[in-house]
Amino acid sequence: MIHSEIVNVTPDVMSGTPVFAGTRVPVQTLLDYLKAGESIDDFLEGFPTVKRKQVIAFLEAAEAQIVKLVA
């Protein structure tokens, strides 16, 4: 999945807040759900415009960045 299919940042959508592509759902909302102990399924149930493949791709990209930082 290419970056533009996962997350978009544009000034006219949520004032430039990173959102899942094709939605107005901030990626921070997913992180807040996960930090609160909620599951990916809980998040997707609450935000049906976000696709599971977007969530997984976002988490995989975040993981890759963290690994680069510590490697």
Q: How confident is the model at residue 71 (pLDDT cuts 50, 70, 90)?
A: confident
Whole-prediction pTM value? 0.91
Q: Which domains does the chain have, with CATH numbers?
A: 3-70 (1.10.10.10)
Taking alpha carbons only, the member of 11, 7, 12, 10 closest to residue 29 is: 7
Confidence of residue 40 (pLDDT cuts 50, 70, 90): very high
In this predicted structure, the answer to whether residue 3 has a pLDDT above a threshold of 90 is: no
What is the spatial distance between Cα 55 and Cα 14, in angstroms, rounded to a whole number?
A: 19
pLDDT of residue 4: 86
